[in-house]
C-alpha cells in the first residue's frame, strides 16, 4: 500500500500542518535559547541539553533525530553526534536540532558565533548561505519543481564562493562540473512530516516532481570548509555553516 500511504503522508491536511507548525515553533524557541546562553568554554552537550530541555518543557516528545551541536571544525562534519567538545572563543557553532510533537517532526539548523560576534570571514560565508536559504525558499511554490529549489541554492552558493575567491572560474562551469561540491556536498531539501526524512516520491515518471500545496520540505543550504582545506585561504578554515528551515507549500507560495 506504500503508493497510497506515502502520497497521503506527503500532502498534509490542515490539522497536520498545525502540528508541524507547533513542532517547528518549539524548535525555534529552543534555538533562540541556545543563542542566548552560548559562551566560550561551554561544551557542545550543554547547548544540546538546553535545547532538549525546551523540547520537553514545551510538550514535545523529544528530539525528532539525534541533535547535532558542532563548534568550529565539528560544524564541517555532516552527521556529527559526539557533541562533546569545548566551544572556543572565535568558533562558530552549528546546531541542527528539531522537536517531535504529536509524532510530527521539525528539522531546523542555525549557525552562530559562540561569543556573539562574527569574524569578517565567518560573516562573509554566513551571508552567502543565508542568501541561498532565502532565495531557495522564494522558489518554493506550486508548479516549481523540487529540483529547482536545489538549483537556486547551488547557484547562489557558487556565485558567493567565486566572489570570495574560494572558487575560480565561470559560475555555470563550476556548477556543471560539480566543483562546488567540495564545499556543498549534500542536497538542499527533503520531505518532512511524521518522519524527519519523510516518505513520498521525489520524481514522477522520471521527472522531478512539481510542488503542490500541502507538501512540506526543508531548505538547508550550507558551506563547509574543514581545517587544512588545500587551495583555500586559512581564514576560512574550520567554518561549517548551514541554515535550515521547514517550508510549507501553499496555494500562494
Partner whose footprint covers residue 149, from Mn ion, ligand GLY, none (CB < 5 to 8 Å by kind): none
246 binds Mn ion (CB under 5 A): no
**Rounded to 5°, angle at Cα 62 from 9 and 29:** 95
100 binds ligand GLY (CB under 6 A): no
220: nearest Cα among 66, 37, 62, 94: 94
107 binds ligand GLY (CB under 6 A): yes
| 43, 65, 118, 208: residue in contact with ligand GLY (rule CB under 6 A) | 65
245 binds Mn ion (CB under 5 A): no
Q: What does the block give as the cell for 21? A: 507548525
Q: Which residue is nearest to ligand GLY (CB)?
A: 96
96 binds ligand GLY (CB under 6 A): yes
User: Do the Cβ atoms of 197 and 186 come closer than 8 Å?
Assistant: no
107 binds Mn ion (CB under 5 A): yes
Classify residue 185 by its DSSP letter: -
User: Do the Cβ atoms of 192 and 109 come closer than 8 Å?
Assistant: no
CB nearer ligand GLY, residue 51 or residue 171: 51
52 binds ligand GLY (CB under 6 A): no
96 binds Mn ion (CB under 5 A): yes
Residues 184-243 that bind ligand GLY (CB under 6 A): 190, 196, 220
**Rounded to 5°, angle at Cα 188 from 28 and 181:** 130
CB nearer ligand GLY, residue 88 or residue 190: 190
φ/ψ of 96, rounded to 5, equals -115, 100
218 binds Mn ion (CB under 5 A): yes
**Rounded to 5°, angle at Cα 163 from 159 and 168:** 85
User: Do the Cβ atoms of 60 and 11 come closer than 8 Å?
Assistant: no
Total site size for ligand GLY, rule CB under 6 A: 7
Q: What does the block give as the cell for 229? A: 582545506
User: Cα separation of 252 and 125, whole Å?
Assistant: 31
Partner whose footprint covers residue 65, from Mn ion, ligand GLY, none (CB < 5 to 8 Å by kind): ligand GLY
Binding site for ligand GLY (CB under 6 A): 65, 96, 107, 190, 196, 220, 244
Amino acid at each position: 500500500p506504500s503508493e497510497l500511504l506515502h502520497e497521503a503522508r506527503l500532502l498534509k491536511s490542515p490539522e497536520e500542518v498545525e502540528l508541524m507548525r507547533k513542532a517547528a515553533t518549539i524548535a525555534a524557541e529552543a534555538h533562540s535559547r541556545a543563542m542566548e546562553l552560548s559562551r566560550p568554554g561551554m561544551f557542545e552537550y550543554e547547548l544540546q541539553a538546553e535545547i532538549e530541555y525546551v523540547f520537553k518543557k514545551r510538550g514535545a516528545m523529544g528530539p525528532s533525530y539525534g541533535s547535532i551541536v558542532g563548534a568550529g571544525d565539528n560544524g564541517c562534519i555532516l552527521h556529527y553526534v559526539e557533541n562533546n567538545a569545548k566551544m572556543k572563543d572565535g568558533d562558530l557553532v552549528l546546531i541542527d536540532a528539531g522537536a517531535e510533537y504529536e509524532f510530527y517532526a521539525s528539522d531546523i539548523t542555525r549557525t552562530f558565533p559562540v561569543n556573539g560576534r562574527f569574524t569578517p570571514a565567518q560573516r562573509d560565508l554566513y551571508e552567502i548561505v543565508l542568501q541561498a536559504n532565502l532565495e531557495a525558499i522564494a522558489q518554493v511554490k506550486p508548479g516549481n519543481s523540487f529540483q529547482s529549489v536545489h538549483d537556486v541554492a547551488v547557484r547562489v552558493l557558487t556565485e558567493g564562493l567565486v566572489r570570495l575567491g574560494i572558487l575560480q572560474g565561470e559560475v555555470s562551469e563550476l556548477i556543471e562540473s560539480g566543483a562546488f561540491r567540495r564545499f556543498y556536498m549534500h542536497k538542499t531539501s527533503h520531505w518532512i512530516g511524521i518522519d524527519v526524512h519523510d516518505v513520498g516520491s521525489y520524481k514522477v515518471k522520471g521527472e522531478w516532481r512539481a510542488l503542490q500545496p500541502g507538501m512540506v520540505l526543508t531548505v538547508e543550504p550550507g558551506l563547509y570548509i574543514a581545517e587544512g582545506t588545500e587551495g583555500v585561504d586559512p581564514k576560512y578554515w574550520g567554518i561549517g555553516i548551514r541554515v535550515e528551515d521547514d517550508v510549507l507549500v501553499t496555494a500562494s507560495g
